[in-house]
Amino acid sequence: MSKSVKIRFGTSGWRAIMADTFTFENVRLVSQAIADHLKNKNRSPMVIIGYDTRFLSANFAKICAEVLAANKIKVLLSERDTPTPVIAYHIIAKELDGGINFTASHNPPEYNGIKFSSRYGGPAPKEVTTAIEKRISFLQKNPHLVKKGVRDDRFIEMFDPKKEYLKRLKKIIDIRCIKKAKLKVGIDCMFGTGRNYIDFILKDLCKEIKVFKDYLNPLFGGLPPEPDEPYIQELIAHVKNNKFHLGIGCDGDADRFGIVDKGGVFLTPNEVITLLFYYLLKTRPKAKKVARTLSTTHMIDAIAKKEGIEVIETPVGFKYIGEALDKGDCMIGGEESGGLSIQGHVPEKDGILACLLVVEMVAREKKPLCEILSSLHKKYGYFASDRLNLYLKQEQKDILLKRIEKLSKKEKFGNFRIMSKNLTDGYKFILNDNCWVMFRPSGTEPVIRCYFEATSRKKLLYLKELINKFTSC
């Protein structure tokens, strides 16, 4: 076996650097642990396996399929790289026992990962990943129990998941509305699994589309496959210079979205989630609930309060949003890192769906997104949010955590009063004037993430100054 390391599942599975800890041996190890979990739940389980466009992802998926087949588990193995939400859709549609996708999502190209989804279609809950982690530890001490496996056509079936998923999306999205609007849309596939999905649907619906990075490049052009403003500059420039109505994009496994408005204006995920919540209220059957993570904008709360809708606040991680969606009567669930899904779809982030919903919204409203957002600020109140990632050495991280712990016992943060505290996932402080700040240490990286929101730009800048002063070690 490769070097024995503690393999941990984060909010979106296990991720590690290839040729370091993400090795063929460790993939077999994790695959066997998942196989043991599946067999413990069902005597004849069936799963779907997919992979992204990273170096060796297809090979890792093949090895995983062989291990599962050696355990007499039936596998639907994707014929090509596959978006995570597509895996989720087929788990539900085919009533499978779970799904595995080999992807490191938006991480840099040297990373790979395993996302394991439970039979309800969303990310495996904590109790499941904890059980799998314990099984991995056991197998590391008993490597003879890990089955290498060989290609076995009795248990492995090649599968094309694209057609059925796109058919489902066309039932959710108002295709006629988009076609009638004759939009010009830029699409950034980021060398990821979303290529030939969004562009495939929109090519016959828009007046013009311009597609970027729609071919395989395991190095992702030297940038992380993340649809954030610094990494989609080509798309932003094209939307601005060619007077396109919109620019859209997805990350490496197409579960996160990135949106560019007319004029090349990048919209934050918080702004997009707010816009889509409002839009769904206008155009879809009204539900009783909306879900957001602790770190997501409270403008959702402002809209929900006025519209008589309950807000479900969850820990960070889409698995918790997925659970809220799975329980029903939740219109939309979102997180500030660029993930959302809606009622009646999959309890998993779907960047493809998010992008198409935004296209539909622009087509129906006949206005730029910034103009729609401005009208929402007038109706529900102004909210501005930001985020800082504090990369620290372990010693610095420990010092800052002690400082944050002391803050949790105080009543003031700068000139702000601390009105309430939420310590369920990190440290969230609700301040006066509808402002808030949250510190959340990563469990797998030497980083503390800081989220904050205010009801004016001036207050937001003051909060940022406070945070920078507070966190300087």
Task: Kindly tell me if the per-residue pLDDT of 286 is higher than 60.
Answer: yes
Query: What pLDDT sits at residue 1?
Result: 45
Joined together, the tokens standing for residue 447 give: 């980083």
By the 8 A CB rule, do 339 and 256 touch? Answer: yes
Please tell me whether residues 241 and 349 are part of one structural domain. Answer: yes
What pLDDT is stored for residue 141 in this prediction?
96
**Residue 52 belongs to a domain with what CATH number?**
3.40.120.10
* 407 and 367 in a common domain: no
Residue with the two structure tokens 């992807």: 103
**Residue 425 in domain:** yes
Amino acid 465: pLDDT: 96
Question: Going by C-beta distance under 8 Å and a sequence separation of 6 or more, which residues neighbour residue 375?
Answer: none
pLDDT in tens, 429-468: 999 999 999 999 976 667 899 999 999 999 999 999 999 9
Task: Give me the mean pLDDT over the 201-205 stretch.
Answer: 96
Q: Mean pLDDT throughout 94-119?
A: 95
Per the structure, the count of domains in the chain is 3
Q: Please, what's the b/e burial string for 297-333 (b: 16 or more CB within 10 A of its CB; e: otherwise)? A: bbbbbbbbeeeebeebbbbbbbbbbbbbbbeeebbbb
- Give the domain extent around 463: 384-471
Strands 14-17 and 111-117, by their bridges, are antiparallel
Q: 54 lies in a domain?
A: yes
Pair (235, 362) in one structural domain:
yes
Residue 352 has pLDDT above 90, yes or no: yes
One domain for residues 367 and 436: no
| 149 and 234 assigned to the same domain | no
Query: Where do we find the tokens 């929109």?
Result: 202
CATH of the domain at 439: 3.30.310.50
- 356 shares its domain with 400: no
| Structural domain contains residue 56 | yes
Is 66 a domain residue? yes
Stretch 53-61: mean pLDDT:
97
Question: Are 308 and 398 found together in one domain?
Answer: no
- Per-residue pLDDT band for 84 (boundaries 50, 70, 90) equals very high
Residue finishing a domain among 380, 401, 421? 380
pLDDT tops 80 at residue 115: yes
Kindly tell me if the per-residue pLDDT of 13 is higher than 90. no
User: What was the pLDDT predicted at 473?
Assistant: 61
**Among 350, 380, 410, residue at a domain's last position:** 380
* Alpha helices (runs of H) in 206-268, residue ranges in sequence order: 233-241
Q: What does the pLDDT look like over 214-266, one tens digit per residue?
A: 999 999 999 999 999 999 999 999 999 999 999 999 999 999 999 999 999 99
pTM of structure: 0.95
Instruction: Give 335's contacts (C-beta < 8 A, 6+ positions apart).
Output: 269, 273, 292, 293, 295, 296, 316, 317, 318, 321, 349
Q: Are residues 351 and 270 in the same domain?
A: yes
Of 353, 380, 407, which one is at a domain's C-terminal end?
380
Which amino acid would we find at residue 440? R
CA dihedral 70, 76, 78, 82 (to 10 degrees): -110
- The yes-or-no verdict on residue 149 having pLDDT over 90 is no
What mean pLDDT is predicted for residues 96-116?
95
Q: Is 1 within the bounds of a domain?
A: no
Q: Are 144 and 25 contained in the same domain?
A: yes
